[in-house]
Amino acid sequence: MQLRYSFRLYPNGPQRSALARAFGCSRVVYNDAFRARETARAEGAPFPKTGDLSTLLITEAKKTGERSWLGEVSAVVLQQSLRDLDAAYRNFFDGLKGKRPRMGGPRLKSRKDNRQAVRFTANARWKITAGGGLSLPKIGEVRVKWSRALPCVPSTVAVIKDASGRYFASFVVYTGEDETLPGVAGQVGIDLGLTHFAILSDGTKIDSPRFLRRAEKKLKREQRRLSRKAKGSNNRTKARIKVTRAHARVADARREFHHQLSTKIIRENQAVAVEDLAVKGLARTRMAKSVHDAGWSAFLAMLEYKAARYGRTFHRIGRFEPTSQVCSQCGVKDGPKPLHIRDWECLACGAVLDRDINAAVNVAKAAGLAVSACRARVRPGPVPAQRGEAGTRRDGQLTVVGIPSL
């Protein structure tokens, strides 16, 4: 499996300038290749190949006065920008063919984009130094904050600058079968929600942290300050960075919560079942902010790749499965219920069920997992006694106790 490990970079002044040159040169080559291909398409000419574009836009362009500054950065960075354009076109055409979800076509890159990135492959001869720094060609040794050790030697590294001005090194590593965890007996179904982020079929309820809601007051304050700054001024740039950093803290906290919870669930269970949620549809309702704050899609993606990495089984059931309408005790469908009803009584067996736990149990059962539904019962409902049971025995004979008339 191919994974990415990201670590924070702390370049000094000259290194930031060198990285800015690398970002700019990579962007220029990408845009030149995009214009060349769009011009060929408009004229009905054959689609230019990557090798021809590399010779024309990199090798020959360095010899001209207009593009001589392309030689100030590593050639591998420029080559990888052409690979990125190829990937953008390939993904676009695959979406049209139905091989993947549809996405927009490639577009020109701007120096004002919030995210800038360059990629170095093994041909660039980058390395991790003995002192723990990251040595990059024509940039130097950049200080790295290592939060953990890499599982193997990485194949490529991408240097990323986000909207808040932070730098990251993203390493691509390949994992093997040695990371498979020992087998466990646990099997769990998961029902996702807003009041509780996740409800497990064993009765465990995990509260929703609501990172965006908790930081909303500070975000509003910083956004108001940004709106008062004159456009194009340095003060507006500083205020914009404060807003992006506040949003970055929220996103980082949410991602850390997702990683910790998904890792815990994968380690404790051999099989995990979830429901395929229509997040795009829910994001168009009045609950849109809470849905985005929960980050369900990112959490499910983490569960899926970690299950494949550690040798666990991951099931995703259909979104139209009536998990909230079926009694997990007897299997009778009781019909849809409003969201404000959190406990309901099954009319068939009399069990009083917690809505969320019952749905989590049904998710696991729909995926074919052998889970116990005992935790779905909140309390036994009143069941009428049979006439033969409502009596006393005298001399071995059953006598039914009658109700005296008033």
* Enzyme catalytic residues: 191, 275, 356
Does residue 137 contact residue 124 with C-beta atoms inside 8 Å? yes
For 326, the 3-state DSSP assignment is: strand
Rg of the chain (C-alpha set): 30
103 φ, ψ (degrees, to nearest 5): -145, 165
Specify the amino acid at residue 175: T
Residue with tokens 């990323």: 160
* Closest by CA position to 170, among listed 115, 131, 244, 251: 115
Pairing, β 187-192 against β 116-120: unpaired
DSSP 176-236: -GGGPPPP---EEEEEE-SSEEEEETTS-EEE---HHHHTHHHHHHHHHHHHTSPTTSHHH
Instruction: Count CA within 13 A, CB hemisphere, residue 200.
Output: 19
Q: What is the DSSP letter of 285?
A: S
What number of other Cβ atoms are within 10 A of residue 53's Cβ?
Answer: 19
Beta bridge partners of 134: 128, 142
